[in-house]
């Protein structure tokens, strides 16, 4: 059963289906609710549809790692880090590279 927050987010998304922030919020709500499969699917779609939108990359990597898809999480970190460099966000790029290294050590 969808939480009230999920229902509210879905209503907002129905009015603005292309809203990246709402889509990210929906994915994070699924993550908070423990539905990592749904969160991963939402985040993967968001990254696919808006590859230049940087916030989902780190969250997607964490969700994938939570699903024991560490190799996929490492790939997402690298892709996100490269996108961050292209966008001129060196700090975010470094954070994703550090996450990638932590994930590599745990696998």
Architecture of domain 4-106: Alpha Horseshoe (1.25)
The whole-angstrom separation of Cα 6 and Cα 67 is 21
pLDDT digits (tens, 9 = 90+) for 15-61: 999 999 999 999 999 999 999 999 999 999 999 999 999 999 999 99
For 26, the token pair is 């929906």
Structure tokens at 59: 């969250």
Q: What is the pLDDT of residues 49-99, one digit of tens each?
A: 999 999 999 999 999 999 999 999 999 999 999 999 999 999 999 999 999
Instruction: Specify whether the CB–CB gap between 19 and 13 falls below 8 A.
Output: yes
Task: List the domain boundaries for the chain.
Answer: 4-106
What pLDDT is attached to residue 94? Answer: 98
- Structure tokens belonging to residue 64: 């994938």
Nearest one of 41, 66, 70 to 56, comparing CA atoms: 41
* Whole-Å CA distances, 29 to 13, 78, 79: 13, 25, 24
Of 58, 29, 54, the residue nearest 42 (C-alpha): 29
Q: Report which DSSP code applies to 33.
A: T
50 within 8 A of 20, measured Cβ to Cβ? yes
pTM of the model: 0.92
């Amino acid at each position: 059963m969808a939480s009230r927050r999920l229902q509210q987010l879905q209503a907002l998304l129905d009015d603005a289906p292309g809203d990246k922030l709402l889509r990210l919020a929906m994915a994070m709500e699924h993550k908070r609710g423990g539905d990592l499969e749904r969160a991963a699917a939402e985040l993967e779609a968001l990254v696919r549809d808006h590859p230049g939108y940087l916030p989902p990359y780190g969250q997607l990597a964490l969700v994938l790692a939570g699903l024991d898809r560490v190799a996929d999480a490492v790939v997402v970190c690298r892709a996100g880090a490269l996108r961050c460099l292209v966008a001129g966000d060196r700090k975010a790029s470094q954070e994703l590279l550090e996450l990638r290294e932590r994930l590599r050590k745990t696998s």
